Amino acid sequence: MKEKAVVQGFANNLDWRNRKGVFWHVIFQASTIVGIITLITLIFNVIDSAFGYVAYEARVDPDTLTMNGIPLEEQSKEQLVELLQSTLSSGAYNKLNNEKSFEDRSREEVFQVIVERIIRPKVVRVWDLWPSLTQADEIRATVAQDFPKAELDFVSWLTRDFVTRPQTSEPLTAGVRTAILGSLWTIFFTILLAFPIGVGAAIYLEEYASDNWLNRVIQTNINNLAGVPSIVYGILGLAIFVRTLEPLTSGKLFGLVDLTTANGRTVLSAGLTLGLLVLPIIIINAQEAIRAVPRSLRNASYGVGATKWQTVWSHILPNAMPGILTGTILAISRAIGETAPLVVVGASTAISFDPSSPFSKFTTLPIQIYQWTARPQAEFQSLAAAAILVLLILLLSLNASAVLLRNRFSRRF
């Protein structure tokens, strides 16, 4: 193109402007790439730990536990309990019995105890996925030389058994069922508390509250609460739910639990604490969604003589619902990953039986991961990596179901 004649006062600087544009383009692209690399590194790191070779030895050979010719795997629950009683010290046996009486445990649970307390397979060494793939021969040679009695297996730490087995202190038999159920129970109470109260408060603040100083103070405080560190909510939960409301949260008031051991450190307390934690986030997101409902729709409704309640219920809520649900999904995702407040509220670090009521003791996935990563042995790092994968899958599937729910709402015209 022929160059435009120079007009006085105007610099012909198109090249310079384009170069500036390219410069920023590259910067923005680089930021994105850094983010993606970080994510890939994270996932690679987790997967690297979650699979690989394991060398392990049994401390007691299971063949020596055969009774009357019946191998250990086929013995009845009663026989297994007897074996435990005769092998363990009475103190250790009674302690197990107090945790949960053997009458209440299933055969599978008793067998688990035997593997854990008597056979005690011992991991002697673990390898990550990358060396397992690239240096398999060296690993075999090392094991043959250093641990002649050990067996070497390529294992995936993340297996179906890992998800369905309860927690134990032996890495080879440990699972996350207890933690998954603990997380689900907790989240259930979180949603139960935070969703209705959060949406209700958002409706009140957006549609009913007049613009006076009191409501402005409330609004400012809600915004600030969303930024309060989660450990503070843990302390709040400890004071309110675990201590003050103990008769309620421990279930004593309802007489459903063993009064001698019941205390407020239950899934109910944990769920309510996380509910308080995500409440401001849900309120703020729901307010945004309600504010985004166009004025023309409100006009249409009020213009035909609808009351405020009719307008809110028939028009504002249905139209804001996809946005409200998106905000709730974000809040719930945060709650699932929370660790600190649950430590304060008193998540148990080692329990081997499942939560079965609102008043159960509990542990959750992040707590479990935290506990495993804190241990020095490499096999627990692998367990933690597998548990992280479970947590990610749980999060993604909850999010996916929420997105489906949201799309269902948006399709109503």
Partner 1 sequence: MMTNNNSEPKYVIETQDLEIYYGDFKAVTNVNMKIEHNKITAIIGPSGCGKSTLLRAFNRMNELYAGTSIKGNVIFNGQDIYAKEVDPVEVRYRIGMVFQKPNPFPKSIYENIAWTARIHGYKGNMDELVESSLQQAALWDEVKDKLHQSGLSLSGGQQQRLCIARAISIKPEVILMDEPASALDPIATLKIEELMQELKKNYTITIVTHNMQQAARASDYTAMMMLSGEGERSGTVIEFDETKKIFTRPSDKRTEDYVTGRFG
Residue 165 vs 406, nearer CB to partner 1: 406
Q: One symbol per residue from 39 to 68: x for binding partner 1 (CB under 8 A), - otherwise; what is it?
A: ------------------------------
Among 111, 130, 154, 302, binds partner 1 (CB under 8 A): 302
Burial of residue 170 (number of CB atoms within 10 Å: 0-12, 13-18, 19+): middle
- Which residues in the 198-237 window bind partner 1 by CB under 8 A? 211
Which listed range, 166-174, 313-321, 329-337, 385-393, lies at the site for partner 1 (CB under 8 A)?
Answer: 313-321
Whether 37 contacts 104, CB under 8 Å: no
- The nearest distance, CB 216 to partner 1, in angstroms, is 13
Token pair belonging to 64: 């020596």
Backbone torsions φ then ψ of 93, nearest 5 degrees: -65, -45
Nearer Cβ to partner 1 (316/385): 316
Choices 8-16, 158-166, 273-281, 302-310 (CB under 8 A): range interacting with partner 1: 302-310
Q: Does 296 engage in binding with partner 1 (CB under 8 A)?
A: yes
> What are the tokens at 387?
């548990």
**Restricting to residues 319-338, which ones interact with partner 1 according to CB under 8 A?**
319
Rounded least distance, CB 217 to partner 1, Å: 18
User: Which of the ranges 122-130, 142-150, 184-192, 309-317 carries the binding residues for partner 1, by CB under 8 A?
Assistant: 309-317
Query: Under rule CB under 8 A, how many of the chain's residues touch partner 1?
Result: 18
- Which span (56-64, 196-204, 290-298, 345-353) binds partner 1, by CB under 8 A? 290-298
**Minimal distance in Å, beta carbon 299 to partner 1?**
6
Which residues contact residue 345 at a Cβ distance below 8 angstroms, ignoring those fewer than 6 apart?
A: 234, 237, 238, 241, 242, 265, 269, 270, 273
User: Which positions touch partner 1 (CB under 8 A)?
Assistant: 211, 296-307, 310, 314-315, 319, 413
